[in-house]
Chains A and B, each alone.
Chain A
Amino acid sequence: MREVAIVAFGQSDHVRDSAQTSEVEMLMPVLHDVLRRTGLRTRDIGFTCSGSSDYLAGRAFSFTMALDGVGAWPPISESHVETDGAWALYEAWVKLLTGEADTALVYAYGKSSPGDLREVLTRQLDPYYLAPLWPDSVALAALQAQALIDAGRTDEAELAAIADRDRTAAAAHPHAQRRGPRPAGEYVVAPLRTGDCPPIGDGAAAVILAAGDTARRLAAAQGRRPAWIRGLDHRIEAHSLGVRDLTDSPSTRLAAERAGVFRRPVDTAELHAPFTSQEVVLRDALALDDTVRINPSGGAQAANPVMATGLIRLGEAADRIQRGDSDRALAHATSGPCLQQNLVAVLEGEA
């Protein structure tokens, strides 16, 4: 299989409300950032793929406006997924594996501020039996958290400690929306407190992928090493919460097996767990022990620009490998209610 690596990652500052900037204005500096780092121009990119959601933007074909920001002229080979940008990265990775392109630009963006995110996400549910009840994303995550507590798998003190660890890590993150520890707060939906829930905000991220010697050259030009994608897989579960064991994530475990996570220990894991309780589920599914550094970026507790949060996990993990702070890292992205769909990547340095 062809060697493919992440060679650059960039992200915007994540903010609660970006009403003064359009999606394109939010995205452009991030795209320019990753292009500048690699010395590439738009016309040098072999394939471009993005992830975003019309339901967040509040208009059909919202991604076409973002494409204007890419500068798709002369015309480019390009595609788009209507989900988190981690899956755009997956599509681009496949494209590079076919040999049809040597480089790819992957980006994702999301603005939660124009709407009520909890209500918007209810539209993601089974339209016949579930969506008419308008169960919001926090309420569904709370069901999952309560199931974990009832099963003796966690308690509120552990959840608070997870939030504390992520926010402490985020204190030094220049792009984080929430920095530094904060009180666990009141219940939003019991047993989840404000401290267990991610911030709601707007942001964008971009990654450049490259194959083989092109990856080595683009990384070396930055004085860094490529973050090689050793494995990448994603799996989905049933949609109906009633037929799932919410305390387990078989799709994460299967994706991790396929990606080769369990062949050798990882030293770092960037987990896309919007709610602290979901980290408990993921850690067990991925068999992560205390030797693994989890979410050195602060994870989704630091910033949660929906549709970009998963891609950011891949980017943050790759960035640590490129810097030499990690040699083998796991990155995870999720989509859908209560971790319905999960993507797992294994990234390694040259060693």
Chain B
Amino acid sequence: MSKEPVAVTGIGQTAHAAARRDVSLAGLVREAARRALDDARLEWADIDAVVIGKAPDFFEGVMMPELYLADALGAVGKPMLRVHTAGSVGGSTALVAANLVAARIHRTVLTLAFEKQSESNAMWGLSLPIPFQQPLLAGAGGFFAPHVRAYIRRSGAPDTIGSLVAYKDRRNALKNPYAHLHEHDLTLEQVQASPMLWDPIRYSETCPSSDGACAMILTDRAGAARAPHPPAWVHGGAMRSEPTLFAGKDSVSPQAGKDCAADVYRQAGITDPRREIDAVEMYVPFSWYEPMWLENLGFAAEGEGWKLTESGVTGLDGDLPVNPSGGVLSTNPIGASGMLRFAEAALQVRGQAGDHQIDGARRALGHAYGGGAQFFSMWLVGTEPPPG
């Protein structure tokens, strides 16, 4: 028996900010969920199950907060499942929810991811030392900077590439009303002159710490037929994991990322991603990850990704726009960041991305990664239902 096609018929996200002091955790998730329901023109009673994701519970200081959030998300009497796969969790959560529909266990599922990072200090939340275990150093930037340096050495990329990515994404964010950062007066020179945090990553090339949530309604063919707006159809989705550290690991272009993309392309019938995919929302928490992931995801040959960035291919008006929403560099509620990538990809193929819409986008890739560049989740969404 073949899988049920899965459609995205509702998308909602909160306004993102460094601190959403106006809402509780429940208020935050409800804001996103309510918007997704409104978009799909559904009510709480129409939802069969809730799949929720977020990154470490230490970020809010609440152990398994989904227990407390069951009421706010209308989950009482329903199945509620909590996913946690590090930074990739927003994407993984959507895929787990999609499988409930694909397996025909449920017809309509609410999936949601959130983080309220203002409740704690995310950097130190990631830096708890335990004897005999490798800590992630002081925050994620300290962990990833050596990998970026390795990429620069390997590819011979000019040292300005990172600043081009950051400037582009922050400019894109000006067209996204939900983005956390709206730096209207930012110049490329300011990005390049901003303080060095973890060489070669500068302050303006680093993701912010945000409060926010993202929600989606996933449904079957019948649900899609009733939807008030055009749905996005899931053409492929996959997760891949590899260990944090091991001899022979390619930290610049991890095998798990390559395998995950290959699986998604196979499912979606994509043979030339650069030509066949119209927009990409990829997880770029530090600017240099754009060229690195362009190579890892098969959009450019090894060592060539930076040339796409430098020549403007990844700009809003380029032929492979990357992070038209402004991406993680402009909005980063960690647990939700992956789902925001998935949701923004879906908005593009639904033609509902507003001022950052890519004209004629028919196929878009959503991408997330996490841990020590070891957990990957991706989906490819399209305007048309999948064949068969």
Contact = CB atoms under 8 A, between A and B. Distances in A.
A52 B259 CA distance: 26
Given A77-B240, A78-B241, A235-B78, A64 B86 contact: yes
A126 B25 CA distance: 10
B57 interface: yes
Nearest to B2: A99
Nearest to B103: A97
Interface stretch (B126-134, B183-191, B196-204, B316-324): B126-134
A172 B84 CA distance: 37
Given A22-B132, A76-B241, A127 B68 contact: yes
A111 B86 CA distance: 20
A91 B241 contact: no
A121 B62 CA distance: 10
Given A98-B3, A251-B77, A341-B67, A79 B25 contact: no
A125 B62 CA distance: 8
Nearest to B249: A73
Given A82-B57, A127-B62, A250 B1 contact: no
A91 B96 contact: yes
> Counting chain A CB atoms within 10 Å of each CB, which of B2, B3, B56 scores highest?
B56
A64 to B, nearest CB: 5
Contacts of B372: 64
A57 B84 CA distance: 15
Given A81-B82, A97-B103, A235-B77, A76 B70 contact: no
Q: Determine the main DSSP class of B at the interface with A.
A: loop
A236 B133 contact: no
A65 B133 contact: yes
B24 A128 contact: yes
A238 B128 contact: no
Interface in A74-96: 74-83, 87, 90-91, 94-95
B239 interface: yes
* Chain A: interface size category: 35 or more
B99 interface: yes
A98 B2 CA distance: 8
A237 B74 CA distance: 10
Given A63-B84, A126-B68, A68 B243 contact: yes
Interface residues of B, number: 65
A258 to B, nearest CB: 9
Contact of A125 (B68, B78, B86, B136): B68
A238 B70 CA distance: 6
A126 B2 CA distance: 42
Contacts of B62: 123-124, 127, 131
Interface string A48-63: 1000011101111101
A87 B64 CA distance: 13
A76 B105 contact: no
B84 A235 contact: no
B80 A254 contact: no
A296 B92 CA distance: 37
Interface string B56-88: 111011111101111100011111111111100
Given A59-B128, A61-B136, A72-B241, A235 B79 contact: yes
Interface in A194-247: 233-240
A79 B96 contact: yes
A22 B238 CA distance: 30
A240 B71 contact: yes
A79 B259 CA distance: 15
A233 to B, nearest CB: 7
A2 interface: yes
B76 to A, nearest CB: 5
A336 B67 contact: yes
A3 to B, nearest CB: 12
Nearest to B136: A61
B99 A95 contact: yes
B371 interface: yes
A67 interface: yes
A315 to B, nearest CB: 20
A154 interface: no
A139 interface: no
A199 to B, nearest CB: 21
A78 B240 contact: yes
A335 interface: yes
Contacts of A68: 243-246
A54 B82 CA distance: 13
Interface string B238-259: 1111111110000000111001
A120 interface: yes
B76 A94 contact: no
A53 B64 CA distance: 8
A69 B102 CA distance: 31
B78 A236 contact: yes
Given A77-B238, A123-B61, A341 B3 contact: no
Contact of A82 (B3, B64, B260): B64
Contacts of B67: 124, 236, 239, 335-337, 340-341
B75 A236 contact: yes
B100 interface: yes
Interface string B249-280: 00000111001100000000000000000000
Given A60-B128, A79-B85, A95-B99, A237 B240 contact: no
B77 A97 contact: no
Interface in B10-24: 24
Give the top 8 A-B pairs by smallest Cβ distance, nearest first: A60-B56, A75-B256, A82-B84, A97-B103, A78-B241, A55-B63, A123-B63, A75-B242
13 contacts: A54-B58, A61-B86, A64-B371, A65-B244, A73-B243, A78-B239, A83-B82, A91-B83, A91-B96, A120-B63, A124-B62, A233-B79, A239-B70
Interface of B: 1-3, 24-25, 55-58, 60-65, 67-71, 75-86, 92, 96, 99-100, 102-105, 125-126, 128, 130, 132-133, 136, 238-246, 254-256, 259-260, 371-372, 374-375
Given A124-B62, A335-B67, 11 more contacts: A60-B128, A61-B136, A65-B244, A75-B260, A80-B83, A82-B57, A83-B82, A98-B103, A124-B63, A234-B81, A239-B71
